[in-house]
Amino acid sequence: MQDSFNNKISKNIPEDSHILLAVSGGIDSVVLMHLCSKISTNYKISIAHVNHNFHKDSEKMENFVQKLSIKYNWDFYSKRINDKINSNIESRLRNERYKLLLKIKNEINADYVFTAHHSLDQAETILMKILNSSSFDGLKGIREKKKHIFRPMLEFSKSDIISLAKKHNLKYLDDPTNNDEKFLRNFLRKSIFPKLKTIKSNIEKPFLSFSERVSEVNSLIDYNTDNFFESDLYDLKDNIHFLDRYKFKDYPLLLKLNIIKRICFSKNESFNKNLVSELKEFFHKEKTGSTKSIGDFLITFDRKDITVTKREFLDFSEDVTVDEEKFFKEFTFKWTLEKMPKKFSNSSNTEYIDATNVGRDLTIRSVKSDDYFYPLGMNGKKKVLKYLVDNKISFLDKKNTFVVCNGEDIVWVAGHQISNNYKLSKNSKKIAKLNFYRN
CB 283 within 8 Å of CB 251? no
Do 78 and 164 have their domain in common?
yes
DSSP 39: S
Do 240 and 338 have their domain in common?
no
DSSP 394: -
Do 35 and 81 have their domain in common?
yes
What CA–CA distance (Å, rounded) separates 56 from 59? Answer: 8
Is residue 218 included in any domain, yes or no? Answer: no
State how many domains the chain has: 3
Q: Where does a domain end: 263, 290, 312?
A: 312
What CA–CA distance (Å, rounded) separates 1 from 21? Answer: 18
Neighbours of 29 (CB within 10 A): 23
DSSP letter string over 224-291?
Answer: HHHHHHHSTTEEEETTEEEEEHHHHTTS-HHHHHHHHHHHHS-TT----HHHHHHHHHHHHH--TT-E
Query: What's the pLDDT score for residue 268?
Result: 65
Q: What is the CATH number of the domain that holds 235?
A: 3.30.465
Do 287 and 372 have their domain in common?
no
Is residue 223 included in any domain, yes or no? Answer: no
Do 204 and 76 have their domain in common?
yes
Is residue 284 included in any domain, yes or no? Answer: yes
Query: What's the pLDDT score for residue 107?
Result: 95
Is residue 225 included in any domain, yes or no? Answer: no
Q: Strand, helix or coil at 321?
A: strand
Q: What is the CATH number of the domain that holds 82?
A: 3.40.50.620
Do 24 and 140 have their domain in common?
yes
Query: What's the pLDDT score for residue 298?
Result: 85
Do 144 and 290 have their domain in common?
no
What CA–CA distance (Å, rounded) separates 163 from 316? Answer: 67
Query: What's the pLDDT score for residue 398?
Result: 67
- pLDDT < 70 stretches in the chain: 55, 83-89, 133-135, 267-269, 311-314, 394-399
What CA–CA distance (Å, rounded) separates 301 from 297? Answer: 13
Is residue 221 included in any domain, yes or no? Answer: no
Do 274 and 361 have their domain in common?
no
Is residue 349 included in any domain, yes or no? Answer: yes
Question: Nearest to residue 355, comparing CAs of 401, 436, 438, 418?
Answer: 418
What CA–CA distance (Å, rounded) separates 414 from 76? Answer: 66
What CA–CA distance (Å, rounded) separates 75 from 256? Answer: 48
Give pLDDT tens digits for 66-106. Answer: 999 999 999 999 998 876 666 666 778 888 889 999 999 99
Query: What's the pLDDT score for residue 113?
Result: 96
Q: Where does a domain end: 145, 177, 211?
A: 211
What is the span of the domain harbouring residue 261? 231-312
Do 407 and 267 have their domain in common?
no
Q: Where does a domain end: 284, 312, 340?
A: 312
Q: Which residues pair with 363 in a beta bridge?
A: 319, 405
Q: What is the CATH number of the domain that holds 430?
A: 3.50.40.10
Query: What's the pLDDT score for residue 65?
Result: 94
Do 195 and 327 have their domain in common?
no
Is residue 263 included in any domain, yes or no? Answer: yes
- According to DSSP, the β-strands at 234-237 and 112-114 are unpaired
CA separation, residue 144 to residues 113, 150, 207, 264, 340 (Å): 12, 6, 14, 25, 76
Query: What's the pLDDT score for residue 397?
Result: 66
Do 78 and 200 have their domain in common?
yes
Is residue 219 included in any domain, yes or no? Answer: no
Query: What's the pLDDT score for residue 392?
Result: 76
Do 30 and 100 have their domain in common?
yes
